[in-house]
Amino acid sequence: MFEIIFLGTSASAPSVRRGLSAQVIQHNEYRFLVDCGEGTQRQILQSGIGFKRLNQILITHGHLDHILGLAGLLSTYMRWEAIDCLDIYGGRSALDRIHDLLFNIVLWGAKPPIPIELHELKPGLFFEVDDFSISAFPVSHRGSDNFGYLFEEHSRRAFLPEKADALNIPPGPVRRELVAGSPVKMPDGRMIQPEEVLGPLTPGIRLAHVGDSGDTTSLVEYVKGVDALVIEATYLEEEADMAKEFAHLTARQAAELAQTAGVNKLILTHISRRYREKDVLAEAASVFPNVFIARDLDVYQIKRVDVSDVP
């Protein structure tokens, strides 16, 4: 299961109810801050999630409404020393700007009290642990090297204890080896294959996050069939020409992407002050009904059986 906590859901400038782009995506003990707009620290406090282990930051692109909060966050981390290091992932141009912001403004020539690692991304897998991975994929928006992120649990086969019992396989290390996929030899000489005690392969949960984007055609292959797609919806169709000019999406375009790619749930963010939320929702829902508009401090759990989707 992935959990996403929206910290800021406004486009370009904050509104009374919405802060600038930031969200936390969690999987078990792992947490990733995706973008860090101005005001993110205060939203972290409001959300109650705390700063602990919040030191891996994924940046979609280098526009100020997605990165300015890094300055304040680093300033706080320097005083509290609540974390051991800061890892920031992004495209080259975003990292160049972040480097200037952090090293030339916040640190102003001083040595950082904690290591700050800027990891330049290329499309593809860049983070993997036992049960999930994260890949970056290219997104077209103003400027170069913009990235979307695909969080994927590994596919796995459930252990079937009744089958193990029937084969007289004792609980403990032998069962663990079978779960890990290795055949085992029993004391009585029998060879047991993992397939004998494992259920069918179940695909893991997949969550795609796309920041600002001016085009959806190239995204279809990366978000195909995901359990949830988080993406911007800055404009409505009535201002589609402006969306095009600034390389943003309309709610309808985002919904059409969700439909074409066959995603399960669509969550729209980067919402402009110029519209009413219900109009954004209505435009998207007319194309793709399983759509939600994220609000600041909303929490979504992305699971295999999504109870909220069961009629």
Binding site for Zn ion (CB under 5 A): 63, 65, 212
Distance between CA atoms of 85 and 82, rounded to whole angstroms? 9
Counting Cα atoms < 13 Å in the Cβ hemisphere of 189 gives 0
Phi/psi of residue 135, nearest 5 degrees: -120, 155
Other CB atoms within a 10 A radius of the CB of residue 160 amount to 13
> Judged by CB, which is closer to Zn ion: 227, or 232?
232
CB of 273 to Zn ion, least distance (A): 13
Counting Cα atoms < 13 Å in the Cβ hemisphere of 23 gives 30
Query: Contact at 8 Å (CB) between 286 and 280?
Result: no
The amino acid occupying position 164 is A
> Judged by CB, which is closer to Zn ion: 24, or 139?
139
Token pair 């001016």: residue: 214
Query: Contact at 8 Å (CB) between 159 and 197?
Result: yes
> Judged by CB, which is closer to Zn ion: 249, or 291?
249
Distance between CA atoms of 104 and 101, rounded to whole angstroms? 6
Joined tokens for residue 215:
């085009």
Please list, residue by residue across 244-274, b when 16 or more beta carbons sit within 10 angstroms of its beta carbon and e when fewer do: eeebbbbbbbbbbbbebbebbbbbbbbbbee
Query: Contact at 8 Å (CB) between 50 and 7?
Result: no
> Judged by CB, which is closer to Zn ion: 60, or 290?
60
CB of 285 to Zn ion, least distance (A): 23
> Judged by CB, which is closer to Zn ion: 64, or 160?
64
| DSSP-assigned beta bridge partners for residue 152 | 133, 206
- Catalytic (active site) residue 65: yes
CB of 21 to Zn ion, least distance (A): 6
Residues belonging to the chain: 311
Catalytic residue among 35, 65, 145, 212: 65
Q: What Cα–Cα distance (Å) separates residue 132 from each residue in 58, 138, 194?
A: 16, 20, 21
CB of 211 to Zn ion, least distance (A): 7
CB of 121 to Zn ion, least distance (A): 17
CB of 253 to Zn ion, least distance (A): 16
> Judged by CB, which is closer to Zn ion: 152, or 212?
212
Known catalytic residues are 65
